[in-house]
Structure 1
């Protein structure tokens, strides 16, 4: 004999009821089947609503009643469309007439007692079980409906009646010892008292009915059919990577269910737990799915954590004060006060100093709890021995669950460090000595991020998800997106990094997709995106609240750089090729560094100097390994090196600068490059990364531009000065050529001072043969005092700059 229970969603439509009937038919071919059914999905809530409306003299109870009626008849008409007489309809019509009379009575006396409420909600299971049984008979299946109220006997504690197991077990055994039908349909949730009054079994009552029957008959297994394929590693609606747990212990299942897993209500399965009867959670909509087996048999213990769950709408109560220390009785009085108010405590934690006690309760009870506690401790509060109760709301509890966690070190450490890295603040922690459950109270807004973070840490194959938000998709930004698209598969397979571009913005429009933007069509999507604003992009990035979020700045915009601090304070990493922030006032530079450390948000800017060359990374490695920078000599402008490598007496300075602009080596405003400001910013950044406090105005900048070029008001005016002052630039070239030298724009840092300017570099010098747009940096250090460490290579261009940004992103992924 088998016992199967089907929940409200499983019988929530004619389509699903047909699936249930098919499942029962298949099972009955092997053995006799007992099927416990809930009310049709949503009906119990509607019955309670109608009762409340009637009690409050709200005539809308008639509309709710008619909706209940329509739902049932719509299902009947779909299940048996060609039954002319429809005996099912006649029975249902009569039952609904009884329901209508009951609601009328509630309306007249405007009273809804627990006893009447039990009678009211019992209509749901009564109707669903009858419809299903009669439909099966209509299809010539051997089915019969037995009213559970004739079998399950309780006391008169209405709405949550206690079962008289002596009478109940005897009734069940007597009835099922001789059966003529293969399938018995039982309404769940409902019972009768020893006085013959209608009662209900409370929350999870249908599960309880099934467990009572299964235990009384000592069946081999109880099957609970729902709308999900078992108990999941975590909530699949919030974590797409969640998957069903194949096997789990009773204790683990109860812990997960207590902390939000809705497929099972722990107290209801106690009868089968006592007899060690396995419970199989199955999916009505996917009957062939494996589901989850709950038992105390030999379980798979490869993973110490079996699941992650959460409860929302939590309020945290804190009772604290110096007068609590060493004084017995505070906890007793606190718990008694809440007990008298019938307020359930979900989580408890107390500091060893005895200075405070924290309690997690349902948020709906917070106001009444505060009133009751403040009243109970009125005297102590008046004497300033304790503070008035502190109430925090908009919280949630997340919990790691697993029987085997106690045998593995570092579970708590992994949990809290991974949450901390994603700026998820923990308000309270509770862990029992058995270590089956580690719970933490966090902000409700962080639940999705927390569950995804923990699931990635404990259940995924060490794949780290990075969520990227890019501002600036011009020349460099477009190349970066292309590189990400090209390498996405490689990163996932080889580096275990799941890289997703969530947000993209240019100066006009921006787009977001929480599941990752399709990088094959991003241009088309961006063309029709919403209006872009810098603050709007930040607010959307913040509100998505995704783990391992990284903001990538591919602009030269001061306003974008001014937002870095806001991103870092939200634990959103920043990767930038924009040099403005790092070369701004020293206080701002240090602030960004401090924020990066404080909020565990990486701040990387390798491309600020040398595009894709590992200049800053190399410098940082020297410093952290204990080396000290003595001096730096460098050619740091790819655009200026391109210009002077291509300028000679057979072309014009104007033409070469225009060529550099066309090939993407200069900023849109070439004065930034040719004035030396860009190079000054770069040597400034290297000096600061070497540990020196220095500002841009401290750097000596010796310009090579003509006086009119330096004073030009617009880009067009500047280009005109290049034409007008060609003789000025030819003199610079001629002077160098006469000495067999190459013109290079050189940055130098030595003994805390820095300068930039055009130099005539003699043959044999490392800078002499620097070709194209290449950069070169020479670090003289205590370890490299005579022969410097040299880094040389392409220092400008969209492709290499994009690759430098990409490398910083990957560096974050590998941390």
Structure 2
């Protein structure tokens, strides 16, 4: 014999019920079948609303009843033919009873638990009656009232089963019954006096388990709208997948901590008889589902991750608790007497404090009761006033084999910590089947995804990018990312998504990832840009492994870095302003990066895509010391002076450099030497020296008139006006057999930048195009410097440098 239970979604309407009857017909070909059904979809909620409304307005109550009646009549018309008259008559009688009960509630202005249980019971009474009669037209089936078989105590809304009498009733009935299929309503029962009781919300599952245990069933099947118990809630974690097999204890832990596919008490009766429980999908019956049994074949150390939201943490704390017995007893006794369920418990080994988790809607009542219970101790300052913290969630990692694997707790807390998920309290049972942590409710979704990635996904890491600046460099970066996405996923197990983008006018967000084929159109139709609103949206998105990418040269953007780092959001930037700002700000950003475990990477600040800063870091981290740096660090200036001669105009060469994307949007920043000064400053700081930008001697080659311009148009006009000055610079160098190079130097704690005449014997002489070159003289390279040379400007190489920094974060 098998017991099959179908939930509310499985019997929500006529089409779904037809699927149920097909499943039952197939199952009954080889076995006798007991079928437990819930009320039609959402009917129990509507019945509760009907009863509660009756206290205020009987017309509203009757209106709700009419919508319930209409659904049931529709299903009768769709599915029942032979016995339609008899079934309709019985259903009409039951609705008339319901109406009378609601009128009584209105007249008496009283709604007791006893009455509420009676009202709620009508959902299953009606559904089982209708489905049984629909089944009779297809196969051998009978209907039986669960109230006649399951006996309980007098707790009407959450009744405790009298298993001795219940098992006798069930055994006796089924011994005499000869039908192939018996249909019963779940959830409902009765006490010894014959009054209707209920087994609590979710009690239909429990009913099915009671029948399975009493009948020593071959298997208990729970049919629902998902294909089993998942590694995490699939509506929150898109990568979650069904668990093939799981133990009774693991299933209990997961269901206790929010896995709604199974009502927690369901497992106990089946466990006692070691009856396998299979979770199946009514809408995909071919799916194997999840098997809950004593010895599952799946030996993964972590089986699932679950969570409960809307939790409050109650803390009892004080030096007066140490060594004094009875505090815990009084705490739990007070809550128990008022039927306040304790979901989570943790206590300091010093006995100085104890924390318990309760549902948020019980928190204020719990505080009131506990304040009264411990009033004397609080007044005498033996303990502190009761502390309540709300807006919390409990997240639990579950697995029976966890006790045999070292380091799982460390992996869990390390993964959460890396993403700024603060843990308020921790509990781990001595059986080590469950590690639970209390966190802020707003972080629940992120935490589930973090832990699922850590324990279940094939070493695939997801990075979520928020990009400001999608012009020349930003557009190339997005193109490179789109091109490499498949490669990254297949070879580096890295899934990079762009969640937000912005330019100076518009911004656009999509939490599931922006389509890189249509990002331009989406951005154009986005909302007006605001730096602060962009940051708030990044924060609100609360994505794991978040990275803010700054492709601008904007000072205001650089000034929000601190706020991102404080939220554990990593930063990748080609904007030099932050790292070339005050030394105090530079050091603060580096410190925040370490404190909040958020990367702060700026490889492209010097040399675009060249690994200059990374190489320098490796030298310093390995114990080397930098004494001197000589470098050509401006790809734009190198391009300008490599292409400027007596046959060209300085104005035209600079314009060409800007068109090629070698200069900043304001080319005066490059030509004034400010950009190079910032770069040598950054290298000096990364070498361990304390310098400010004003400490760097800038020997500008531009005339004063060019330096004092306020727009690109006036700057270019000044270049044309001073063409003779630039031609003289070229002629003087050329006459000596030299080439003009804009050189940055750092030595003995001092730095300078300026135009130099480079002789043919110097390493800088043959530097072509927009290439950069850096010479590091260190303890290990005192005479023959470490040289890095290559393309140092341009949108493509800068974008590739940004890309490399993103990969560095992924590999962290």
TM-score class, shorter: over 0.9
Q: Does 1:49 align with 2:40?
A: no
User: What's 1:794 paired with?
Assistant: 791
Contact 2:113 2:156 in 1 (8 A): yes
Cα distance in 2 for partners of 1:594, 1:743 equals 40
User: What's 2:216 paired with?
Assistant: 218
Contact 2:743 2:753 in 1 (8 A): yes
Contact 1:469 1:503 in 2 (8 A): yes
> By how many angstroms is 1:86 displaced?
4.2
User: What's 1:96 paired with?
Assistant: 95
> By how many angstroms is 1:532 displaced?
1.7
> By how many angstroms is 1:83 displaced?
7.4
Contact 2:246 2:296 in 1 (8 A): no
Contact 1:400 1:438 in 2 (8 A): yes
1:508-587 → structure 2 map (5 Å cutoff): 508-587=505-584
> By how many angstroms is 1:72 displaced?
1.7
Contact 2:19 2:283 in 1 (8 A): yes
Cα distance in 2 for partners of 1:323, 1:385 equals 4
Cα distance in 1 for partners of 2:659, 2:384 equals 70
Cα distance in 2 for partners of 1:552, 1:680 equals 23
Cα distance in 1 for partners of 2:475, 2:263 equals 52
Give per-residue Cα distances to partners, 1:616-638, cap 9 Å, x unaligned: 00000000000000010000000
> By how many angstroms is 1:136 displaced?
1.8
User: What's 1:76 paired with?
Assistant: 76
> By how many angstroms is 1:568 displaced?
0.8
Give per-residue Cα distances to partners, 1:334-369, cap 9 Å, x unaligned: 122222222111111111122211111111111111
> By how many angstroms is 1:58 displaced?
5.6
Match of 2:261 among 260, 263, 281: 263
Give per-residue Cα distances to partners, 1:766-805, cap 9 Å, x unaligned: 1000000000000000010000000000000000000000
1:566-645 → structure 2 map (5 Å cutoff): 566-645=563-642
> By how many angstroms is 1:251 displaced?
0.2
> By how many angstroms is 1:444 displaced?
0.2
TM-aligned CA distance change 1:116 to 1:174, over 3 Å: same
> By how many angstroms is 1:438 displaced?
0.3
1:61-210 → structure 2 map (5 Å cutoff): 61-80=61-80, 86-137=85-136, 139-210=137-208
Q: What TM-score results when the alignment is normalised by the length of structure 2?
A: 0.98
Give per-residue Cα distances to partners, 1:679-729, cap 9 Å, x unaligned: 000001111111111111111000101121122232211111111111111
Q: Does 1:439 align with 2:427?
A: no
Match of 2:333 among 336, 361, 380: 336
Cα distance in 2 for partners of 1:111, 1:719 equals 87
Cα distance in 2 for partners of 1:519, 1:725 equals 45
1:693-704 → structure 2 map (5 Å cutoff): 693-704=690-701
1:645-724 → structure 2 map (5 Å cutoff): 645-724=642-721
Partner of 1:519, secondary structure, is: coil
User: What's 1:286 paired with?
Assistant: 284
Cα distance in 2 for partners of 1:151, 1:269 equals 20
Match of 1:231 among 229, 244, 262: 229
Is the deviation greater in 340-349 or in 580-589?
A: 340-349
Cα distance in 1 for partners of 2:633, 2:663 equals 13
| Contiguous gaps of at least 5 residues in structure 1 | none
Cα distance in 2 for partners of 1:85, 1:383 equals 72
> By how many angstroms is 1:40 displaced?
1.0
Contact 1:57 1:110 in 2 (8 A): no
Runs of 4+ in 1 over 6 A off after TM superposition: none
Contact 1:610 1:796 in 2 (8 A): yes
User: What's 1:369 paired with?
Assistant: 366
Cα distance in 1 for partners of 2:82, 2:194 equals 35
TM-aligned CA distance change 1:369 to 1:807, over 3 Å: same
Q: What TM-score results when the alignment is normalised by the length of structure 1?
A: 0.98
Contact 2:252 2:267 in 1 (8 A): no
Contact 2:58 2:103 in 1 (8 A): no
User: What's 1:480 paired with?
Assistant: 477
> By how many angstroms is 1:168 displaced?
2.0
Contact 1:221 1:279 in 2 (8 A): yes
Partner of 1:769, secondary structure, is: coil
> By how many angstroms is 1:285 displaced?
1.2
Cα distance in 2 for partners of 1:297, 1:382 equals 54
Q: Does 1:463 align with 2:460?
A: yes
Cα distance in 2 for partners of 1:711, 1:171 equals 99
Give per-residue Cα distances to partners, 1:537-595, cap 9 Å, x unaligned: 11111101000000100011111111111111111110000011111111111111111
Is the deviation greater in 116-125 or in 48-57?
A: 48-57
> By how many angstroms is 1:650 displaced?
1.2
